[in-house]
Homo-oligomer: A and B are copies of this chain.
Amino acid sequence: MRVSVLLASALGCTLRLLQPAESFQHVGPSAIFATRLGSTSADLAETKHWRPTVSSLNDRKAYFQEQKERTSETLQSLGFHHVEFYTGDALMTAKRFELALGVPITCWSSLATGNDVCVTYGLECGIDYNSDTESGHGVRFLITAPLSRAMQKVNNDAPSAPTGVPSNVQMTAPLPLPGYSIEGAHEFYSKHGLAVRAVGVEVQDAKEAYEAALRNGAHGVLPPTDIPTNYEGQFTGECQMAEVKLYGDVVLRFVSFGDEHCEQKARDGIPEPFLPHLAPYPSYKPTRPNYGLKRIDHTVGNVPNLLETQNYIQTFTGYHPFAEFTPEDIGTVDSGLNSVVLASDSEAVLLPLNEPTEGKRKSQIQTYLEQNEGPGLQHIAIKTDDIFETITKMRHAEENFGGFELMVRPSDEYYRDLPSRLGNKLSVNQYERLEELGILADADEEGVLLQIFTKPLGDRPTLFLEIIQRIGCVIEQDADTGRIKERPGCGGFGQGNVSGALQGNRRP
């Protein structure tokens, strides 16, 4: 944990894990920063050598067992399904995402497929089409931009082609996602710039999740609706969605699939669109480069008032607090933040939240809130099983082809000290490669977190990405396949690094 303390202390943050069963309902505003785990935040500030107490592996196993029996959440979350970005030009954005992250475009909707409202590219990787896709596995992005408002009005007034001239478009994906507003999308983009519109979570039943959320105070955005299938625009009931407000203009999107769609398949090497309203992307090649990204680990929101937002989300989701950070050691800070992580019962869905704190210099979270014109999604952490391979490829794309820029690497001193902090949790070769690639490391008692941040993806110092690998914390190993299931959040969040990352957000 010293890495986080080291970096966090420079930012006035210390980190502490909460026992997962610790419930928000029992933790008031004052108690939130002083729990039964041991030290109070005041104690923590006194020593640089403090290491958080975390539950042991056996405790965690017991906890998961307990959670199975006594669920606290109301949504029946299965895992992250996708994240949707709103942008000004979907092609320009999707092509750079594909290059920068090795997440190929596999499906789409556009003028070419009969959709005259918006253009959407679907990107995905990390899915094994030959075996069952477990919920929460895979990285799926939607990148969506609105088309002409004026043309949309013309077409609405005259549903057939306005000039009476026949179209030569093949209608293979005529409709945007339900609830899509072309006016709203233009205004969203003018306000926020490139930003996340929706965090898509797969649930057992989107309708039930929506109704439970609204009973518990959620602000509804889109009532439960079937997603139409492509080609005919029919509603087959195979896939349902609903949306509630998460924070700012970001929605939490519930998606559920009928039995037939519980697995994603590929035909002739071409993946089926991961949402039924999309058409297969004709340029997709099965040999498309892939940098090894496996799943969305967590999505982080920046809000002006953490407690208020935490209360809202925790109440309608029933998610539990998982870990948090508080600002300390103000004497050395450059900027600060408070942070909490909310987790679904299974902890497959992790939703950290940040609020700014005041320091000698403006908090990077405050800068986000200003430049994003309000609360929003700060970053997405994406998990790889081989961060060395992933970052080697991302750096190659960055340096040669204009991929996403990665944060400036830490000092030589940082890497000199690393082995004495993490010990034999990593090999000599691993330490060398961390330094070579400029990757950060962190650890808790059970595992190791390897992490690296991109610079902001667009013009504004707002949205960025984190690439992580988690090592250790094995819960189960499948005797047949050798597949390992590890504890979510293994190795922690290294969240103090987030602000460190943001400090370098002035490009290049």
Is A401 at the interface (CB under 8 A from chain B)? yes
Given contacts A111-B371, A148-B371, 20 further A-B contacts (CB under 8 A): A87-B88, A88-B194, A89-B92, A89-B194, A89-B459, A90-B459, A91-B507, A92-B96, A92-B458, A95-B96, A96-B96, A99-B99, A110-B459, A148-B370, A148-B372, A150-B191, A150-B373, A165-B360, A281-B508, A401-B401
Question: What per-residue 1/0 map shows which CB atoms of A189-202 lie under 8 Å from chain B?
Answer: 11101100000000
Is A171 at the interface (CB under 8 A from chain B)? no
Question: What per-residue 1/0 map shows which CB atoms of A360-377 lie under 8 Å from chain B?
Answer: 111000100011110000
B147–A402 touching, CB < 8 Å: no
A111 neighbours in B (Cβ, 8 Å): 371, 459-461, 506
Is A168 at the interface (CB under 8 A from chain B)? yes
Which parts of A455-492 form the interface with B (CB within 8 Å)? 457-461
Nearest residue (CB) in B for A285 is B399
A147 neighbours in B (Cβ, 8 Å): 193, 371, 459-460
A165–B88 touching, CB < 8 Å: no
A370–B151 touching, CB < 8 Å: yes
Given the complex of chains A and B, what is the CA–CA distance between A89 and B457 in angstroms? 10
Shortest CB–CB separation between residue A459 and chain B, in angstroms? Answer: 4
A151-B373 contact given A91-B459, A145-B459, CB 8 Å threshold: yes
Shortest CB–CB separation between residue A330 and chain B, in angstroms? Answer: 14
A193–B88 touching, CB < 8 Å: yes
Shortest CB–CB separation between residue A160 and chain B, in angstroms? Answer: 13
B401–A458 touching, CB < 8 Å: no
Is A283 at the interface (CB under 8 A from chain B)? yes
Is A93 at the interface (CB under 8 A from chain B)? yes
A458-B89 contact given A168-B361, A402-B96, CB 8 Å threshold: yes
Which residues in A have some Cβ–Cβ distance to B below 8 Å?
A: 87-93, 95-96, 98-99, 110-112, 119, 145, 147-151, 154, 161, 163, 165-166, 168-169, 186, 189-191, 193-194, 281-283, 360-362, 366, 370-373, 397, 401-402, 457-461, 506-508
Instruction: Select the residue from A88, A99, A194, A373 with max chain B CB neighbours within 10 A.
Output: A88
A163–B362 touching, CB < 8 Å: yes
Shortest CB–CB separation between residue A491 and chain B, in angstroms? Answer: 31
In the complex this chain forms, how many copies of it are found? 2
Given the complex of chains A and B, what is the CA–CA distance between A89 and B143 in angstroms? 14
Instruction: Select the residue from A98, A99, A147, A161 with max chain B CB neighbours within 10 A.
Output: A99
A191 neighbours in B (Cβ, 8 Å): 148-150
Nearest residue (CB) in B for A363 is B165
A87 neighbours in B (Cβ, 8 Å): 88-89, 92
A282–B508 touching, CB < 8 Å: yes
A148-B92 contact given A361-B166, A362-B165, A507-B112, CB 8 Å threshold: no
A507 neighbours in B (Cβ, 8 Å): 91, 110, 112
Instruction: Select the residue from A189, A283, A508 with max chain B CB neighbours within 10 A.
Output: A508
Given the complex of chains A and B, what is the CA–CA distance between A457 and B169 in angstroms? 19
Given the complex of chains A and B, what is the CA–CA distance between A457 and B147 in angstroms? 14
Shortest CB–CB separation between residue A358 and chain B, in angstroms? Answer: 9
A283 neighbours in B (Cβ, 8 Å): 508
A148-B88 contact given A112-B506, A361-B168, A401-B401, CB 8 Å threshold: no
**Which residue of the partner chain, among B88, B154, B163, B194, contacts A189 with CB atoms under 8 Å?**
B88
A150 neighbours in B (Cβ, 8 Å): 191, 370, 373
Nearest residue (CB) in B for A146 is B190
Shortest CB–CB separation between residue A400 and chain B, in angstroms? Answer: 8
A96 neighbours in B (Cβ, 8 Å): 92, 95-96, 402
**Which residue of the partner chain, among B148, B166, B373, contacts A193 with CB atoms under 8 Å?**
B148
Nearest residue (CB) in B for A151 is B370
Given the complex of chains A and B, what is the CA–CA distance between A99 and B165 in angstroms? 38
Shortest CB–CB separation between residue A207 and chain B, in angstroms? Answer: 33
A165-B402 contact given A88-B193, A148-B370, CB 8 Å threshold: no
A506 neighbours in B (Cβ, 8 Å): 111-112, 169
Shortest CB–CB separation between residue A499 and chain B, in angstroms? Answer: 14
Given the complex of chains A and B, what is the CA–CA distance between A402 and B148 in angstroms? 24
Nearest residue (CB) in B for A335 is B165
A402-B88 contact given A145-B459, A169-B506, A507-B110, CB 8 Å threshold: no
Shortest CB–CB separation between residue A99 and chain B, in angstroms? Answer: 5
A372 neighbours in B (Cβ, 8 Å): 148
Nearest residue (CB) in B for A155 is B370
Given the complex of chains A and B, what is the CA–CA distance between A96 and B506 in angstroms? 20
Nearest residue (CB) in B for A193 is B89
A93 neighbours in B (Cβ, 8 Å): 89, 92
Given the complex of chains A and B, what is the CA–CA distance between A147 and B148 in angstroms? 21
